[in-house]
Every structure is written in structure tokens, then in C-alpha cells.
Amino acid sequence: MIETALSLLPALLLNFAVAISCVLALWLMSIALRDVSIIDMVFAVIMYLILVASALGTEQLGTADKLMLGVVGLWALRVTLHLLRRNWGHGEDPRYSKLRTWVEGEWAFHWLSLRKVFLLQGVVLWFATLPAQVAILLAEPMSPTVLSYMGAAIALAGLAIETVADLQLGAFRADASKRGTVLQSGLWHYSRHPNYFGELCVWWGVFFMACANPLAIVTLIGPLVYSHLIVNITGQATLDKKLAREKPGYAEYMERTNGMIPWPPKAAKD
């Protein structure tokens, strides 16, 4: 196993260089556009490019690898189109605008954003895709196994969940009569963050697909890092804190409704 890991190291380092090169290019673009948010719109493209680099670094793709590339490609296309449609032309995300207040001077902020946003995301995206990278780079072409199909089913279910959740959220935000209220219908009745739940299902599904080759089990750190980021750093915890502070009724919604995994809500207290 150690020999196999060492043989994959050059290709994995090359993939890491791809990830870092992409985020550095985006960092330079963010300086010109004065908008750090651009990385949020294309992070899925970077993840897919890492897998494309893996595919180019292997002699022959197995059917299981092609299935994985197809699933991730479908996810990347959906997420990128959704984020471009939602964010393009709306200015910098308030989270990044707030980051500008941490330091004084334009270049002080640029260096801060490089460390705290772009390079950090490059590392996380590399880790998140690690199971798929390793599965594709392993020399033996694989035919799909039960794990392949199970993982694909989980990933596609996650893709469907986050798609429906985003559509429901978009319709809610577009309804002027709902302004200032909390979305508590549809998937949002059962989870405060069904879109994040769907996202995690996609990447845990990809991990199971990768584990069609038993050697890929060692890449468990990939989905664990991504899950930690979404639950505790940039996703659920941060958004809950912000919405509980800014939106009336959200604290009560938090008490009743699961944060991530969809589940029937608790009965309202008298």
C-alpha cells in the first residue's frame, strides 16, 4: 500500500498545483474586479478540473471512473449555473465585504483574502476531491461494483435534494410578501439547510464510489474535511448565527428544526 501511495504522489501533487493555480488566477481576477465572491461562483469548476487532471494522468479509465466523472460533471454544471445566475452582477458577498474591514489598505486586504479565502479554498477543494482523484489514478481500470452504484445513487439523490432546495429558496426570496419571514415549507420544513445536506450527500456518495477500489478507503479525510467546513466553518454554523441575529423567528425555527439531516420538526412549545 505504501508503494502504491508513493506512486500516486507525483500526480496528486500535480493536481494540487492545478487547484492552487486556479485559485491564484481567481485571486488576481478578484483584485481587478474588486470582488472576492467570484471564487464562490466557480469552485465547482475547479473541483471538476482537478478530476480532469487526474483522468489525463492515468493510462486508461475504467467504467467506474467514467461513471464518477459523469456524476461529478453533472453536479459541477448544476452548481455553477445556479451560482452564476444567483450571484452575477449582484456585487461582492457581504461576508467578504466585512472581511475588508479587518485590515487597513487595499493590498493588506488582498493578501488577507489570498490567505483566508483563495489558498484555503484551494486546499479544501483538493482534499474534498481526494477520494475521486485516487480512484481515477489507481492503475487498475475498474468496472462498477455495488459500492459504485450505491455511491452514485447517494450522490444523485443529494444533487436532486440541493436542486429542489435551491429552487424553493429562490421562489421564496422572489416573493415580496414573504420578505422578513423564515422559509419553513418544502424541504426547509425538515432541515434548516437542505441544500448543504444535499451537497454533503454528493461528496459522501463520491467517496463510496471511489471505495469500489478498496485502496481508496484511506482517503476518508476528503469528505471529513469538506463536511467539517460546511457544518462548522463556512456553512451551517456561520449562517445560523447570522440569521438568528438578523431575522425574527429564526431562533425559534432553529429550536424546532434539524440543522442538516431532514427530520420531522419538534412540536412548537406552548
263 torsion bin: left (phi>0), alpha (psi -120 to 50), beta (else): beta
Q: What are phi and psi of 145, to 5 degrees?
A: -115, 180
pLDDT in tens, 36-85: 989 989 999 999 999 999 999 887 888 999 999 999 999 999 999 999 99
Closest by CA position to 159, among listed 129, 195, 188, 130: 195
| d(C-alpha 254, C-alpha 234), whole Å | 18
Q: Report pTM.
A: 0.91
- How many Cα atoms within 13 Å fall on the side-chain side of residue 115? 6
Question: Domain residues of the chain, as ranges?
Answer: 2-256
pLDDT in tens, 156-203: 999 999 999 999 999 999 999 998 899 999 999 999 999 999 999 999
The grid coordinates listed for 158 are 443529494
CA dist 212 → 63, 137, 188 (Å) = 11, 13, 33
